[in-house]
């Protein structure tokens, strides 16, 4: 990639970004293993004259554009890791690595941010401040955002903007909303301790399978009776493991699953009730339950002022801004929003499969849409903070 990439026409930019996305798609790397992806991103950025800044990350890239004029710092973020999934798209540019696939579109996000970098580089002298580009590793393990924060890359940042492809939305549509967008994604492991016995004499032991079954049923009352109908939560048990013989009542049963919420108060209340129900039901049946909470990313809560700027960007570029349906998927972008105001949007990619499906794919014509939106939103955000917006920070 040479500096000529900065001068690409809109049509040529789309073709360039498709090529970048397909290269990334062929060479997926899992969370914390994105070494070649990191080198590739650096080569593209440096080839376009973009400054890469060393924050001591083993994988992932942080770069910056601007600084020619004094002003605030805005961050744009894309995630770069793939998933441990065997690809079934049949695409000519399918993954070359068995059992690894960009099944969530992070290759799309990365290419879009590179496209935004090319456009912002063209306008570098006019930028009223600085734009940080965060190519974040390990989103799928909900580790990368916290690593970026710990590196110090957000210390001067006033706001952060990110995006995710959305198969349900048509190309040219951008889902933007203030407030909640994606859920807190927490997990749990429950060990139900009983007492083993022969299946023919169940009274001689304490059956953990019966206790576990009652716990699963009782969990359904948490959402229906402890969460307001005007709010929402999901409690899903996704695994039950117990026993290894047809005629022996086992000593222990293990339950695993996830809890999804959009509000921190509801999140805390559900966790409290969750522990009470699990331990109480188990105790009533003579067993003992131990709950291990696996804290995931918090909910994605968009800043209202940034959401309004996002709508302005979408409409000024000729795209359709819509209020998207809330997603119960988790996203570690939320960690950034605990530090600074943030905006996370959905870019319509009109795909036939949902995220994490082996046949997941997307319409690459959405790449310039995403790139142009990120660049314009960054410029508008710099102008907003320069004019006194967000002065309460």
pLDDT for the residue numbered 12: 86
Which of 76, 131, 73 minimizes the C-alpha distance to 310?
76
Residue 217 has pLDDT above 50, yes or no: yes
Residues 108, 349: Cα–Cα separation, whole Å: 10
What's the chain's average pLDDT? 95
Residues 133, 7: Cα–Cα separation, whole Å: 20
| Contact by Cβ (8 Å): 62, 146 | no
| Contact by Cβ (8 Å): 68, 125 | yes
What is the pTM (predicted TM-score) of this model?
A: 0.92
Residue 6 has pLDDT above 90, yes or no: no
Out of 3-17, 237-251, 330-344, least confident range: 3-17
| Contact by Cβ (8 Å): 366, 167 | no
Burial (0-12, 13-18, 19+ Cβ within 10 Å), 151:
middle
Q: Please write the tens of the pLDDT for every residue from 191-204.
A: 999 999 999 999 99
- Give the C-alpha distances (Å, rounded to integers) separating 157 from 9, 17, 85, 329: 30, 27, 35, 26
Query: To the nearest whole percent, how much of the chain has pLDDT over 90?
Result: 94
Residues 176, 307: Cα–Cα separation, whole Å: 6
Q: To the nearest 10°, the Cα dihedral for 190, 191, 194, 195? A: 160
Residues pairing with 77 in the sheet:
134, 162
State how beta strands 173-175 and 342-348 pair: antiparallel
| Contact by Cβ (8 Å): 120, 66 | yes
pLDDT band at 274 (very low <50, low <70, confident <90, very high): very high
CA atoms within 13 A on the CB side of 354: 3
Q: Please write the tens of the pLDDT for every residue from 123-153.
A: 999 999 999 999 999 999 999 999 999 999 9
Residue 2 has pLDDT above 80, yes or no: no
Residue 9 has pLDDT above 80, yes or no: no
Q: What is the rounded average pLDDT of the residues 86-108?
A: 98
Structural domains in the chain? 3-181+299-386 (3.40.630.10), 184-294 (3.30.70.360)
Residue 239 has pLDDT above 50, yes or no: yes
Residues 283, 192: Cα–Cα separation, whole Å: 10
Q: Please write the tens of the pLDDT for every residue from 307-362.
A: 999 999 999 999 999 999 999 999 999 999 999 999 999 999 999 899 999 999 99
- Say which residues have a Cβ less than 8 Å from residue 74's Cβ, sequence separation at least 6: 129, 130, 131, 132, 157, 158, 159, 160, 161, 378, 381, 382, 385
pLDDT for the residue numbered 3: 45
pLDDT for the residue numbered 159: 98
Q: Please write the tens of the pLDDT for every residue from 32-83.
A: 999 999 999 999 999 999 999 999 999 999 999 999 999 999 999 999 999 9
Burial (0-12, 13-18, 19+ Cβ within 10 Å), 191:
middle
Rg (CA), the chain: 24
pLDDT band at 5 (very low <50, low <70, confident <90, very high): very low
Residues 170, 163: Cα–Cα separation, whole Å: 15
pLDDT for the residue numbered 1: 38
For the chain, the three-class secondary structure string (H helix, E strand, C coil) is CCHHHHHCCHHHHHHHHHHHHHHHHHCCCECCCCHHHHHHHHHHHHHCCCEEECCCCCCCEEEEEECCCCCCEEEEEEECCEECCCCCCCCCCCCCCCCCECCCCHHHHHHHHHHHHHHHHHCHHHCCCEEEEEEECCCCCCCHHHHHHHHCCCCCEEEEEEEEEECCCCCCEEECCCEEEECEEEEEEEEEECECEECCCHHHCECHHHHHHHHHHHHHHHHHHHCCCCCCEEEEEEEEEECCCCCEECCEEEEEEEEEECCHHHHHHHHHHHHHHHHHHHHHCCCEEEEEEECCCCCEEECHHHHHHHHHHHHHCCCEEECCCCECCCCCCHHHHCCCCEEEEEEECCCCCCCCCCCCCCCHHHHHHHHHHHHHHHHHHHHHHHCCCCCCC
pLDDT for the residue numbered 11: 80
């Amino acid at each position: 990639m040479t500096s000529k990439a900065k001068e690409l026409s809109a049509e040529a930019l789309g073709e360039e970004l498709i090529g970048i996305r397909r290269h990334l798609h062929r060479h997926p790397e899992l969370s914390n293993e994105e070494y070649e992806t990191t080198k590739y991103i650096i080569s593209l950025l440096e080839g376009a004259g973009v400054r890469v800044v060393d924050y001591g990350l083993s994988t992932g890239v942080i770069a910056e554009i601007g600084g020619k004029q004094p002003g605030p710092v805005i961050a744009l973020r894309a995630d770069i890791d793939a998933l441990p999934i065997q690809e079934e798209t049949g695409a000519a540019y399918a993954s070359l690595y068995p059992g690894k696939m960009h099944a969530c579109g992070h290759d799309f996000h990365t290419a879009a941010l590179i496209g935004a970098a090319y456009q912002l580089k063209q306008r570098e002298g006019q930028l009223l401040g600085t734009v940080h580009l965060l190519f974040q590793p390990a989103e799928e393990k909900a580790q990368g955002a916290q690593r970026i924060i710990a590196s110090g890359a957000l210390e001067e940042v006033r706001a952060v903007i990110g995006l995710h492809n959305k198969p349900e939305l048509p190309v040219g549509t951008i889902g933007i909303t203030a407030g909640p967008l994606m859920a807190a994604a927490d997990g749990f492991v429950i060990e139900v301790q009983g007492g083993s016995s022969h299946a023919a004499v169940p009274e001689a032991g304490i059956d953990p399978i019966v206790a576990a079954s009652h716990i699963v049923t009782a969990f359904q009352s948490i959402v229906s009776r402890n969460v307001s109908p005007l709010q929402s939560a999901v409690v899903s048990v996704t695994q039950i493991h117990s026993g290894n013989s047809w005629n022996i009542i086992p000593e222990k049963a293990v339950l695993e699953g996830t809890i999804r919420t959009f509000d921190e108060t509801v999140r805390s209340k559900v966790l409290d009730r969750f522990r009470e129900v699990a331990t109480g039901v188990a105790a009533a049946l003579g067993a003992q339950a131990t709950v291990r909470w696996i804290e995931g990313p918090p909910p994605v809560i968009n800043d209202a002022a940034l959401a309004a700027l996002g709508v302005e960007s979408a409409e000024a570029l000729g795209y359709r801004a819509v209020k998207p349906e809330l997603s119960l998927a988790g996203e570690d972008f939320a960690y950034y929003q605990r530090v600074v105001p943030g905006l996370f949007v959905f870019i319509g990619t009109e795909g036939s499969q949902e995220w994490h499906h082996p046949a997941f794919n997307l319409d690459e014509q959405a790449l310039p849409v995403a790139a142009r939106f990120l660049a314009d939103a960054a410029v508008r955000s710099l102008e907003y903070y320069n004019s006194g917006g967000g002065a309460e920070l």
